[in-house]
Chain A
């Protein structure tokens, strides 16, 4: 089984969020970047598990971004990807990223393409679906479980009020959510091996731009918290009814 995993780099979950250039750009100054958790913990690890279970195949990681993505890519290799691809252009928008990935993947015969359900910086959850459309493949978002038998994939996902079990034929694109796998910490051997695994740098296919993020802002500050003594806890319900008017 030939698997492609989409990997992106995001600010650490505890990173300070600030903007520069008249609030038109994220201020990356002093920020630690990590591999997007959905890509790393779920998509990549499940891809490796499926390859291991099949006893054959390959797992390729693909990243759209400049040379500053090197650490992210090496981490994916250290966790176990066989090789990596980097499309050498800054990632600006979902459609652009999807076009770059689709242009690369088009003739490569991947059986399965895995993406994280969303990135934790832009929270769009669009790239997987767009890649699927551009490659004319089925796509399931928000998958919390993925099994493959032959060319049939079984996917579970949480839907409001329950769990839905879906079946589809490969090749397909799947958006990985929590539950699909458990995080793997790279060991020393993996980290050493990652240094010599192949990383192919591919030029951009120059997709059209259809949307852009033009301005950022921080959300309005919260007012002061109103404390209610524990002995009078019932007052909270009253206040929610008469003051906040939410019940």
Chain B
């Protein structure tokens, strides 16, 4: 019995979601943990701290081809005799985990939010309005972990790193271009998010929103109409039809709190709402609220955040 954890380690340092997944895999008690990854990441031996005993890395493989990556995961799983396969519920994981499950005729838990109770894994359903417990009945199980679900483990040793040698077949998908929209914190794994809506009146008014986000080391997000009107890029749109996020802190400025918006943010640990309308539905979902004009409240928040940063 052993556990495989498939992670995307692209980018300079090891992503938080990857470290969380390795931690999770080591806490599942499915035997020794082998991490599987791809690309040119360095420092992979440090995943030992999160509980991996070995890291297998396929250096030359396509970063977007779910078929090659699925073969990689299944080859390593077969070699290791793994019965548990952990993935991250992100763009890479979503292209791979269900494929691995279908290939191995294994049950898949899409986006679990914590360790299981016995055989039961909890996940959010109905866009965060309810939770479901899923039981996997097949011999092999594939578990995708939602980001921000578990504190990162420390204290393990160093993992051995091994390059994958096997043939993964031809790549059928190629990356033509990567258009950078900014170097900010990726929204799905951000611990803090400052979000603004139609109440900001126009894209020219986002300066203070970005300034507050910077001061709080937060990512920026927006409501759907804001993205639809091209005030902000589409990848910032959170909600039922946008990105679903679960940060520790979500600050909503000039957002009414429509049910479809809440669906994407209601799993945030602490929600702050700033709205000039005391009847805005968002206050019902909030932990902290300020009834006031965003254009007067934001400078006060920025000033207080600067003061706090100066004191630390």
Residues in chain A within 8 A of chain B (CB atoms):
11, 13-14, 17, 19, 37-38, 94-95, 98, 120-130, 132-134, 136, 138-142, 144, 154, 157-169, 175, 178-179, 208-219, 222-223, 225-230, 233-241, 244, 246-247
Q: Is A162 in contact with B270, judged by CB distance below 8 angstroms?
A: no
Q: Is A212 in contact with B134, judged by CB distance below 8 angstroms?
A: yes
Distance in Å: Cβ of B75 to nearest Cβ of chain A: 15
Distance in Å: Cβ of B281 to nearest Cβ of chain A: 12
Bound together, the chains give a CA A165 to CA B297 distance in angstroms of 40
- The listed residue with most B CB atoms (<10 A of its CB), out of A133, A211, A230, is A211
Distance in Å: Cβ of A194 to nearest Cβ of chain B: 25
Q: Interface SS of chain B: helix, strand, loop or mixed? A: mixed
Distance in Å: Cβ of B99 to nearest Cβ of chain A: 4
Q: Is B305 in contact with A237, judged by CB distance below 8 angstroms?
A: yes
The verdict on B201 contacting chain A, using a C-beta distance below 8 Å, is: no
Q: Which of B91-111 contact A (CB under 8 A)?
A: 91, 94-99, 101-103, 105-111
Pick from B94, B120, B138, B274: contact of A141, CB under 8 Å? B94
- The listed residue with most A CB atoms (<10 A of its CB), out of B64, B180, B189, B192, is B64
The verdict on B187 contacting chain A, using a C-beta distance below 8 Å, is: yes
Q: Is A239 in contact with B107, judged by CB distance below 8 angstroms?
A: no
The 6 closest A-B pairs by CB, nearest first: A230-B292, A160-B186, A211-B107, A234-B304, A129-B98, A237-B304
- List 16 additional contacts besides A138-B173, A213-B135; criterion CB under 8 Å: A125-B110, A138-B65, A139-B99, A141-B91, A157-B91, A161-B186, A162-B178, A227-B290, A227-B291, A230-B293, A230-B297, A233-B300, A233-B301, A235-B304, A238-B308, A247-B305
- The listed residue with most A CB atoms (<10 A of its CB), out of B125, B134, B285, B296, is B125
The verdict on B289 contacting chain A, using a C-beta distance below 8 Å, is: yes
Q: Is B102 in contact with A134, judged by CB distance below 8 angstroms?
A: yes
| Cβ contacts B223-239/A at 8 Å (1 or 0 each) | 00000000001110100
Q: Is B177 in contact with A165, judged by CB distance below 8 angstroms?
A: yes
Bound together, the chains give a CA A3 to CA B67 distance in angstroms of 21
Pick from A164, A175, A246: contact of B178, CB under 8 Å? A164
Q: Which residues of B contact A237 (CB under 8 A)?
A: 301, 304-305, 307-308
Q: Which residues of A contact B81 (CB under 8 A)?
A: none
The verdict on B168 contacting chain A, using a C-beta distance below 8 Å, is: no
Nearest neighbor of B242 in chain A, beta-carbon distance: A178
Q: Which residues of A contact B191 (CB under 8 A)?
A: 246
| Cβ contacts B158-202/A at 8 Å (1 or 0 each) | 000000000000001111111111111011110110000000000
Q: Which residues of A contact B304 (CB under 8 A)?
A: 233-238
Distance in Å: Cβ of A102 to nearest Cβ of chain B: 9
Q: List, sorted by A's number, 6 A–B pairs whose CB atoms are closer than 8 Å.
A: A95-B108, A134-B102, A166-B176, A212-B137, A214-B133, A240-B270
Bound together, the chains give a CA A127 to CA B97 distance in angstroms of 11
Q: Which residues of A contact B150 (CB under 8 A)?
A: none
Q: Which residues of A contact B174 (CB under 8 A)?
A: 166-168
Bound together, the chains give a CA A139 to CA B15 distance in angstroms of 24
The verdict on B252 contacting chain A, using a C-beta distance below 8 Å, is: no
The verdict on B260 contacting chain A, using a C-beta distance below 8 Å, is: yes
Q: Which of B119-156 contact A (CB under 8 A)?
A: 120, 123-138
Q: Is A162 in contact with B66, judged by CB distance below 8 angstroms?
A: no
Bound together, the chains give a CA A144 to CA B241 distance in angstroms of 12
Bound together, the chains give a CA A169 to CA B170 distance in angstroms of 12
The verdict on B269 contacting chain A, using a C-beta distance below 8 Å, is: yes
The verdict on B216 contacting chain A, using a C-beta distance below 8 Å, is: yes
Bound together, the chains give a CA A223 to CA B289 distance in angstroms of 13
Bound together, the chains give a CA A135 to CA B55 distance in angstroms of 30
Q: Knowing A164-B64, A167-B173, A237-B304 are in contact, say whether A130-B98 is a contact too (CB < 8 A).
A: yes
Q: Which residues of B contact A144 (CB under 8 A)?
A: 234
The verdict on B29 contacting chain A, using a C-beta distance below 8 Å, is: no
Q: Is A236 in contact with B98, judged by CB distance below 8 angstroms?
A: no
Q: Is B135 in contact with A166, judged by CB distance below 8 angstroms?
A: no
Q: Which residues of A contact B133 (CB under 8 A)?
A: 213-217
Q: Is A38 in contact with B127, judged by CB distance below 8 angstroms?
A: no
Bound together, the chains give a CA A210 to CA B95 distance in angstroms of 19
Q: Is B216 in contact with A233, judged by CB distance below 8 angstroms?
A: no
Q: Is B287 in contact with A223, judged by CB distance below 8 angstroms?
A: yes
Q: Knowing A129-B98, A140-B95, A214-B133 are in contact, say whether A161-B176 is a contact too (CB < 8 A).
A: no
